[in-house]
Amino acid sequence: MTTAAAPVITPDQLRQHWQGHRTLTRRMIVAFPDDKLFAYSLGGMRPFSAFAMEMLGMAVPTLNGVVTGEWKMFESAAATSKDQLLTMWDEATSEIDRLWAKIPAARFQEIDTAFGQWKMPIHGLLMYVIDNEIHHRGQGYVYLRALGIEPPPFYER
Amino acid sequence: MTTAAAPVITPDQLRQHWQGHRTLTRRMIVAFPDDKLFAYSLGGMRPFSAFAMEMLGMAVPTLNGVVTGEWKMFESAAATSKDQLLTMWDEATSEIDRLWAKIPAARFQEIDTAFGQWKMPIHGLLMYVIDNEIHHRGQGYVYLRALGIEPPPFYER
């Protein structure tokens, strides 16, 4: 296939972009005191641990579907300590790299119905997973500030 | 130039992605009571109006730099009412579409030093502007929830 233009972003650049965000989110998990991570929230929202477990529940299951075209039910991860959550986070980091390398280049423009529910192009689905992480992590910044804790800088990845 | 693969995302898909996020952010501005928009915050952070003005201060000035290669100082917008902020938001929406159409396809992979300070590929710069909006908008979700107001759904763009 011949295209007239350089790509906006290459598959590996998008992987690095995501993993950069995941590095920052990991720093956020570390920044929370253990008890606050699992119990503190504002406005009746979920604690930051629940956001992180939702992110874990989306990341690898989404990539499995992207690579195989088979969509298993996804469910949030279930960690009960910060150490366990960080271990799961790091396992997902490796798994994302492993699965990402298997995405056929043409797959990003294909339309699929993720988890039998969300019909969209694969690039849109992957952006959604990344955006959802940024969205909830931003909420965690408010939690940390309200706790009097300086969050890690947004621009450091 | 010949590439072996379909693109991850086309320039117009990335524009739509951003404008979809901007539609949601506009809905957030509308959701805030007028006084809370300019005065309410948590954890010593800025009110949501200041986040929106920062987003406006980044969006068109960044695109001007992307298109022209000339980086003027950027400064946050200065609105003093919700109506004024929404008018500026809508003007930026049109201006983003107008400028986006002028970005040469090869530009996304070029490295530039935005505003004389941030050296990165243009795709990374544009993603940063979008991510910064998602990040601060997520913080606004906590403000609204703490005010007892249901925010607009994250997945509607």
- pLDDT tens digits for range A34-60: 999 999 999 999 999 999 999 999 999
Q: Is A153 on the interface with B (CB under 8 A)?
A: no
Report pLDDT for B75: 72
- Nearest CA-CA partner of B52 in B135, B152, B119: B135
pLDDT at A135 over 50: yes
Report pLDDT for B5: 64
Percentage of chain B with pLDDT > 90?
92
pLDDT at B50 over 90: yes
In terms of DSSP H, where are the helices of chain A?
11-31, 34-39, 48-68, 82-100, 122-146
Q: Where do we find the tokens 């119905």? A: A113
Q: What is the mean pLDDT of residues B68-74?
A: 87
- Chain segment B83-106, per-residue pLDDT in tens: 999 999 999 999 999 999 999 999
Dist CA A82 CA A84 (whole Å)? 5
Report pLDDT for A5: 64
- Chain segment B8-43, per-residue pLDDT in tens: 999 999 999 999 999 999 999 999 999 999 999 999
- Nearest CA-CA partner of A29 in A76, A105, A92, A84: A84
Q: Are B109 and A6 contacting, i.e. CB atoms less than 8 angstroms apart?
A: yes
- The Cα of B80 is separated from the nearest Cα of chain A by a number of Å equal to 24
Report pLDDT for A76: 72
Q: Is B1 on the interface with A (CB under 8 A)?
A: yes
Report pLDDT for A106: 95
Dist CA B9 CA B14 (whole Å)? 7
pLDDT at B4 over 60: no
**Residue A137: band (very low, low, confident or very high) from pLDDT cuts 50, 70, 90:** very high
User: What average pLDDT does chain B have?
Assistant: 95
Report pLDDT for B1: 43
Q: What is the mean pLDDT of residues B113-138?
A: 97
Dist CA B51 CA B54 (whole Å)? 5
Chain A to chain B Cβ contacts (< 8 Å): 128
Q: Is B10 on the interface with A (CB under 8 A)?
A: yes
User: What average pLDDT does chain A have?
Assistant: 95
Q: What is the mean pLDDT of residues A56-83?
A: 91
Q: What is the mean pLDDT of residues A83-98?
A: 97
Q: What is the mean pLDDT of residues A6-25?
A: 97
pLDDT at A82 over 90: yes
Report pLDDT for B71: 94
Q: Where do we find the tokens 């043409």? A: A106
pLDDT at A3 over 60: no
Q: How many CA atoms lie within 13 A of A118 on its CB side?
A: 20
3-class DSSP state for residue B34? helix
Report pLDDT for B2: 44
Dist CA B90 CA A60 (whole Å)? 37
Least confident of A72-86, A107-121, B34-48, B84-98: A72-86
Question: Across the interface, do B142 and A6 touch by the CB < 8 Å criterion?
Answer: no
Report pLDDT for A2: 44
B-chain residues near A17 (CB < 8 A): 124, 127
Dist CA A120 CA B49 (whole Å)? 32
pLDDT at B3 over 60: no
Question: Which amino acid makes up residue A48?
Answer: F
* Cβ-nearest to B139 among A2, A5, A139: A139
B-chain residues near A36 (CB < 8 A): none
Q: Is A87 on the interface with B (CB under 8 A)?
A: no
Q: Is the ipTM of this complex over 0.90?
A: yes
3-class DSSP state for residue B133? helix
